[in-house]
Structure 1
Amino acid sequence: MQVLPFAFLAIAFYLGAGSWQSLVLLRRVPARPVLVRGLGLLAVACHTVVVASALRELGEVSLGISASASLISWLVAILLVLTSFIKPVLSAAAGLFPLAALTIVLATELPVGSHPAGLTPGIMVHVLTSILAFALFAIAAVQAMLLARQNQALRRHHTRGLVQSLPPLTAMERVLFELIWAGMILLTVSLISGMLFIDNMFAQHLVHKTVLSLAAWVIFAALLAGRHFFGWRGARAARWTLGGCLLLLLAYFGSKFAIEVVFHDV
């Protein structure tokens, strides 16, 4: 099957949905959640073909940086669209859908590296929970940026533009912490399963990934504790969320870079 037409269609649908949602946030066009979801679902369907082709060619789940980014962005888009039916998270499409389009461009232009996966059921749990946790935290990161901007605008008594197009601040905060809780559960399972089922972590160059992931876990745990005991919210919650997400980004893609470029293990 020719993958390139599906890649072009996925990029077009992602950019169309993301652009419309961006214009909604800028109050240039009316909100059309059905349109954004519809384009998002079409993009995900076409993106599925791209991801399936990459997995089929490799015959394994262990992918290079570009293909991994495409796989994760695909999962992010699926979770975002599905979650948007029950939670007000569709605003995040303005940032995440164009990013998904970019990962498809990279996946179709850059060579795809791989290394032996050796997947056992335990490692499979680790891989799946890692990717799903990252996807949830990616959505949380965009939610945190929107929350920070909304909080800043309200403090300055700017009630037009972006503030008008977003859900109430309390709803935005509630969704953010729900995403963090769900991501924390998956990240905890990922860390525990990794420690239990991955042998000889030093030989596999995974120490930096584990350390950064644990550091991110500590940050998110501190944020949840601060929320519960001290009522942390607004800009502080956004900063801690973005800090934890940055560490996870370095943990996953930094480890990929180290394995594929520094250690030439491809």
Structure 2
Amino acid sequence: MILSSASPGGVALTLAAAAAYAVPAVGAARLSETAARRALLAAWLLHAATLAWSLFGDTPRFGFAPAISVTAWLVLTVYVVEKQMFPQLRARWALAFLGAAAVLLAFAFPGSPLHVTVSPWLSLHWALGIAAYGLFAAAAVHAWMLSRVEHSIRQGAEPQAGVPLLTLERLTFRFATAGFVLLTGTLVAGIFFSEQLYGRAFRWDHKTIFSVLSWGVFAVLLLGRFRFGLRGRRAVNVIYIGSVLLLLAYVGSRFVLEVVLRRPA
């Protein structure tokens, strides 16, 4: 933890974002649809300001917790956009809890100070990787919603997601496909242009191994989907496995360095 390095502005933004997320998370049953939507939008904007402060403030930092925070913000961005297309979508309280937890975690573990990059392309490489994280996280959230809908249908109850089953399924695989494309680009750049990006020859480390394993899992998922019609619980489980492997790639390795070993990345 590096709480002592937190600036007053960063503390204020973090607390404001967490409090804003708590409104639709805790008071979902008592708020009107309009009030809950406005509260979540305010939290989303404050979350964005918190991320901007941590990345472009006096001492820019990044690590496993900020990566989770960026990923959570991207998932919420997807939700905000989808809510415009599918007003009946229901996942506000769960995503609000996710946003609050991500903001507080990034405040507790802000990561290591960022250094001058070796290559101007490195920022783009990182952006592609984080975007892939966000898309796969969105796919995992939709897979969770898909499982809930299927369970409700089997139990003869009314589905709680508010979106038809087939629509949720299409969205899930669209996010998985888009994430797979970005992850492929990130891996190709990291493997074949390592010297240009990092100033060193490519090497197989834990981050690369878990990323390649995740890529393989999602390749099997998409091949199974488009060639053999893979769907249902098996597809959801494959998405979970691939997402966990990708989470271990960067977030897991940085967590070990920052929290377990207490070494700068």
* Residue in structure 1 matched with residue 3 of structure 2 by the alignment: none
* Residue in structure 2 matched with residue 53 of structure 1 by the alignment: 53
Of the three residues 158, 183, 202, the one matched with 1:187 is: 183
* 2:71 and 2:137 in contact (8 A); partners too: no
5 Å-filtered alignment, 1:1-266, equals 2-19=9-26, 32=33, 34-57=34-57, 60=60, 63-86=62-85, 90-110=89-109, 112-114=111-113, 116=115, 118-156=117-155, 158-160=156-158, 163-199=159-195, 207-260=205-258, 261-262=260-261, 264-266=263-265
Cα offset, 1:150, TM superposition: 1.7
Cα offset, 1:90, TM superposition: 4.4
* 1:209 and 1:251 in contact (8 A); partners too: yes
* Structure 2 counterpart SS, 1:120: coil
Segment of structure 1 superposing worse, 2-11 or 82-91: 82-91
Q: Which runs of 5+ in 2 are unaligned?
A: 1-7
Segment of structure 1 superposing worse, 39-48 or 243-252: 39-48
Q: Which runs of 5+ in 1 are unaligned?
A: 24-28
Segment of structure 1 superposing worse, 116-125 or 168-177: 116-125
In structure 1, distance between residues paired with 2:47 and 2:131: 17
In structure 1, distance between residues paired with 2:160 and 2:73: 29
In structure 1, distance between residues paired with 2:10 and 2:114: 23
Aligned length: 255
The 1:224–1:121 alpha-carbon spacing in structure 2 relative to 1, beyond 3 Å, is: same
In structure 2, distance between residues paired with 1:257 and 1:238: 26
Cα offset, 1:165, TM superposition: 4.5
The 1:37–1:134 alpha-carbon spacing in structure 2 relative to 1, beyond 3 Å, is: farther
* 1:18 and 1:95 in contact (8 A); partners too: yes
The 1:223–1:112 alpha-carbon spacing in structure 2 relative to 1, beyond 3 Å, is: closer
The 1:197–1:38 alpha-carbon spacing in structure 2 relative to 1, beyond 3 Å, is: farther
Give TM-score scaled by structure 1 length. Answer: 0.82
The 1:18–1:217 alpha-carbon spacing in structure 2 relative to 1, beyond 3 Å, is: farther
Cα offset, 1:35, TM superposition: 4.3
* 1:6 and 1:50 in contact (8 A); partners too: yes
Cα offset, 1:216, TM superposition: 1.0
Task: Give a deviation string over 1:5-50, Cα, whole Å, max 9, x none.
Answer: 33222112222234466x5xxxxx7983x54443222112212222
In structure 2, distance between residues paired with 1:89 and 1:127: 34
Cα offset, 1:179, TM superposition: 1.0
In structure 2, distance between residues paired with 1:182 and 1:58: 34
Aligned CA RMSD, in angstroms, stands at 3.0
* 1:88 and 1:172 in contact (8 A); partners too: no
Cα offset, 1:211, TM superposition: 1.2
